[in-house]
Amino acid sequence: MVDVTALGARVASSAVTPLVRRLFVRDGPGAGLVDRPVRISALVSFRGEKRTVTPKDVEKIAGELVRRALAAAGPGEEPVGAAEAAVVKDALARTLARLGEITVEDYEAVGLGPERFARELSAGVPLAPYGLGEGGTLLYERLLHTASLHILNFLTQRSTYVARRQTVQAQQLARLVRAVDVLLERLPSRSAEDAGFEERYADHIAARYGTLTIYGLDAGTREWPLDTAYLSLEATRPQAGRGGSRGPEYPTVAAEQVLAGHDQVFLRGVAGSGKTTLVQWLAVTAASRVYDHGLPHLIGQVPFVLPMRRIVRPGAELPFPGDFLRAVGCPVAGEQPPGWVERVLRARRGVLLVDGIDEVAGNRRAAARRWLRELVRAFPGNLWLVTSRPSAVPEEWLAAEGFSELVLAPMGREGVATFVRRWHRAAEVDASVGESLLASVRGTPELTGLATNPLMCGMLCALHRDRRGFLPQDRRSLYEAALTMLLERRDRERELHGFDGVRLAYATQVQLLQKLAWWLIRNSRAELDRDEALGIVERSLPALDLDSAGGEDVYRALLLRSGLLREPAEGRVDFLHRTFQDYLGARLAVQEMDFGLLVDHADRDQWEDVILLALAHARPKEAEHMLRRLTELGTPRGTLLAAAGLRYAAEVEPETRRRVEEGLATHVPPASKAAARDVAQAGGDLVLSLLPGPDGLDDDTAFRVVQTAAHLHSEAALQFLSRFRDHTDAFVGTQLAAAWHGFDRDQYAREILAHLPTQYAVDAYSAEDLRTLRSLGGWEHIHVRGPYRVEDLTSLIVPERLHLLALDAPHPVEGLSWLGAFPALRSVTVYTDLDPAVARQAPPGVRVRNETAPPSADRQG
């Protein structure tokens, strides 16, 4: 066979160039200067108002590239068969379609080069679902590289690119000139000794903080390059006291920009939220000799990283500026010119990054605050970032010293996806493993709740890899590993031994947390009063042999070091992750043998995970007793809980298993539309793990299963429904299209609608819905519900794709002559009173129907 890695190069340029040219609109004059940057997505010919080809044509272009590549290989040397070649074509077409989605500008794309540009295109197209073999994957990669090379070459030949590049270069030069002005302003006359030392110190900062260590993972610690590992997080104002809400005047900002708006920031964040990583990133950025990074406030500045756990020593005073480097163990401290730090701070060039106020013992925090106040007053005008876990110190702890308080926000869906993909790249793990984990996280509510910060995401990545993708089959193991990491390993690996004189053993922490969790669950509370929590801790001390430790000290150690508790407002305590609360509460419920209490609450959604996790902890006889009690309730809810619980129980007697399975068969799969609704209401997301399919189902059962999941409106349900997007039954497709508005609009469009035939009716309630459909290349059958503007319909609906249109407005339609804008339109249905004279205004060949109500999508009408 031919060498696949060379195959792309054997496709002649004369063959590729015309194909690539078809992907873009014709050239136009001028520099393309607009209010917003010119993006490649605005240049493609299969999106927007300038379309000259359709998304189907993109598939044809991809198919032609594959065909010509195989032809270039020669007879008998084809690296893949016809079936796999078709799959390569599909994957390549989807990747080329990303040209209409990426935000890279043309000149930026050229700067990336073909390899990196190809990676940019393929980043949003996981190959795992295509099932390509080694030969198919290599063919896809080489053809994508070849296409990328020709795309970039084509972009450089556009007159607008040349003019735009000149403009951008001028803008870059202007920014560099401004940066140099700032640098000159901030760099007063320095001695050669100071300048030379700053160079060596900057090199040390880049080397010392240019990598990131991931702690507490079963795979062991690992150093990542910071530019690979850093994930831009968001910061915002803290909530305004108990029950307060964030006002609109406090928008979120990128965390790395917090010092752009404030000279002095006190930043709170939960364990593992990325505080230390942000400190490292700011230090490396400030020390770099790059002046076009978009952060002018860091140009020419000198960073000082001051981890509190290292500089606060028993019986020793906190360091003066001249001792900063020695206090943190900086190896170039001995070369520091006398008075250098003070000269930097006097020139207002310091970036002081004080990390981990929570890691200072309580009796030293007043001294730490005095130290900060004295430094700020002695050396005004420098940049300060002080970090802490949320509950370590009271609100506005540094307000009197002029510090603004901000809080690191949890990671969003896109942040989680970015982190997981980067983790797998850095760990040199196949990207398909990361995509599998993302599917699990998005489809499993408890994992979605865990993946809220880099620490927990890293834990999930490591556990998923080490267990070869079987996460989350065993939730008990998942939580146990997470608890070990959070309660024991992380502080040990960070060399943080003891806290406030109280070091709690792992088992002791677990027992105390269990008591707090079970109290919350039993009392149907989301949080405790601080005094209630303190009382629970104090009553537990004798049995835990902690009489010598004060209840207050034990409570504070548990609050600050466990990473699981927080004080969301003054005097209130809750669990950071509800899923850990349920897990710990279930452990204690089994220890206390509260099985009757668990079963008696089976009808409450908030007890669902507690019951399932109790089954995981229970001994075989205890689990069987719970399963029998659940089935004896005689309710759909009890039956579904028992069925879901079978996979949690380690051992179940065959007769008990048979009874549970027989009960499940009466509800799943549902026999009717009403039954589908009832099962969804009774089980919630729990039912997703019990629903069959899509393989092996007849069309009617598949339809009922989809109907059931569509009632749930959760991300887990969306991921479940995506399994049916290639189903061939028309009623299944119709139901999937109809379910769009129960979910996140853009995500559902991307993951399900984009894979459906466009003849299924899709509802559009707003102009945004129409824009989303337009981003998919248009839709054949659109049902417009609610008030609309004709100009929205004519500008946002892809004209040549629309075949059937339904209008369901609260008022009669006034005129139909505008329908002439849609040349492929065959039929219009109007669900309001329609004057016959108005109907006659429709263009020739368009059938107009006046109906009273839309037909049902149900098989039984």
Q: Which domains does the chain have, with CATH numbers?
A: 4-164 (no CATH), 230-409 (3.40.50.300), 498-592 (1.10.10), 593-665 (no CATH), 758-861 (3.80.10.10)
Q: Is the pLDDT score of 736 beyond 90?
A: yes
- Of the given ranges (222-236, 237-251, 395-409, 475-489), which has the lowest mean pLDDT? 237-251
Amino acid in position 430: D
CB atoms within 10 A of CB 241: 10
At 199 the three-state DSSP class reads: helix
Q: Is the pLDDT score of 2 beyond 50?
A: no
Give the end-to-end CA distance of the chain in Å, rounded to a whole number: 56
| pLDDT the model gives residue 703 | 92
From the list 656, 653, 629, 655, the residue with the least C-alpha distance to 641 is: 629
| pLDDT the model gives residue 539 | 92
Q: Running DSSP on this structure, what letter comes out for residue 303? A: E
7 confidence band (pLDDT: 50, 70, 90): very low
Number of H helices, E strands in the chain: 37, 17
CA–centroid distance for 821 within its chain: 40
| pLDDT the model gives residue 848 | 82
CB atoms within 10 A of CB 584: 27
Give the C-alpha separation, 338 to 329, whole Å.
17
Q: Per mean pLDDT, which of 65-74, 332-341, 357-366, 543-552 is the most reliable?
A: 332-341
At 787 the three-state DSSP class reads: coil
CA atoms within 13 A on the CB side of 298: 26
Q: Running DSSP on this structure, what letter comes out for residue 44? A: B
Average pLDDT rounded to a whole number, residues 700-714: 89
Average pLDDT rounded to a whole number, residues 659-685: 84
Which strands sit side by side in the sheet containing 827-830, from one edge to the other? 762-764, 781-785, 804-808, 827-830, 847-850
Q: Is the pLDDT score of 345 beyond 90?
A: yes
Amino acid in position 419: F
Cα 205 to Cα 294, 302, 331, 352, 547: the distances in Å are: 20, 10, 11, 13, 46
Average pLDDT rounded to a whole number, residues 794-798: 87
Tokens representing residue 502 in the block? 């109280």
Cα 35 to Cα 38, 185, 240: the distances in Å are: 9, 31, 37
| pLDDT the model gives residue 720 | 87
Longest dimension (CA), the chain: 94
Cα 705 to Cα 83, 238, 281: the distances in Å are: 31, 43, 48
555: left (phi over 0), alpha (psi -120 to 50) or beta: alpha
Q: Is the pLDDT score of 243 beyond 70?
A: no
- Residue burial 653-682, b: 16+ Cβ < 10 Å; e: rest: eeebbebbeebbeebbbbeebebbebbbeb
Give the C-alpha separation, 654 to 659, whole Å.
9
Give the C-alpha separation, 194 to 191, whole Å.
5
Phi then psi dihedrals of residue 252, to 5 deg: -75, 150
| pLDDT the model gives residue 644 | 84
408 confidence band (pLDDT: 50, 70, 90): confident
Tokens representing residue 405 in the block? 């308080």
| pLDDT the model gives residue 32 | 40
Q: What string of H, E and C letters represents the secondary structure of 586-641?
A: HHHHHHCCCHHHHHHCCCCHHHHHHHHHHHHHCCHHHHHHHHHHHHHCCCHHHHHH
At 345 the three-state DSSP class reads: helix
Q: Running DSSP on this structure, what letter comes out for residue 39? A: B
6 confidence band (pLDDT: 50, 70, 90): very low
| pLDDT the model gives residue 76 | 62
Tokens representing residue 664 in the block? 């499940």
Give the C-alpha separation, 682 to 627, whole Å.
17
Average pLDDT rounded to a whole number, residues 189-196: 76
849 vs 569, higher pLDDT: 849
From the list 452, 131, 115, 172, the residue with the least C-alpha distance to 290 is: 172
Average pLDDT rounded to a whole number, residues 287-297: 70
Give the C-alpha separation, 716 to 704, whole Å.
17
CA atoms within 13 A on the CB side of 154: 23
| pLDDT the model gives residue 856 | 56
Give the C-alpha separation, 836 to 848, whole Å.
10
548: CB partners within 8 A, 6+ apart: none
At 441 the three-state DSSP class reads: helix
Q: Per mean pLDDT, which of 246-250, 550-554, 686-690, 722-726 is the most reliable?
A: 722-726
Q: Is the pLDDT score of 47 beyond 80?
A: no
Q: Is the pLDDT score of 93 beyond 90?
A: no
Average pLDDT rounded to a whole number, residues 734-752: 88
Give the C-alpha separation, 336 to 320, whole Å.
14
Average pLDDT rounded to a whole number, residues 499-526: 84
Amino acid in position 673: K
| pLDDT the model gives residue 75 | 64
| pLDDT the model gives residue 34 | 36
Q: Where are the alpha helices (DSSP H) in 451-529?
A: 454-466, 475-484, 490-493, 506-522
Q: Is the pLDDT score of 45 beyond 70?
A: no
At 829 the three-state DSSP class reads: strand
Q: Is the pLDDT score of 117 beyond 50?
A: yes
415 vs 39, higher pLDDT: 415
139 vs 703, higher pLDDT: 703
| pLDDT the model gives residue 344 | 93
User: By the 8 A CB rule, do 401 and 264 touch?
Assistant: yes
| pLDDT the model gives residue 832 | 79
Percent of the chain surpassing pLDDT 70 = 77
| pLDDT the model gives residue 615 | 92
| pLDDT the model gives residue 216 | 41
850 vs 336, higher pLDDT: 336
User: By the 8 A CB rule, do 118 and 72 touch?
Assistant: no
| Interhelix angle 55-73/134-156, nearest 10 degrees | 110
Per-residue pLDDT of 565-620, as tens digits, reads 877 667 788 887 777 888 999 999 999 999 999 999 988 877 888 999 999 899 99
Q: Is the pLDDT score of 1 beyond 60?
A: no
In the predicted model, what is the mean pLDDT of the chain? 78
CA-based R_g, the chain, Å: 31
CB atoms within 10 A of CB 700: 14
Q: Is the pLDDT score of 164 beyond 70?
A: no
178 confidence band (pLDDT: 50, 70, 90): low
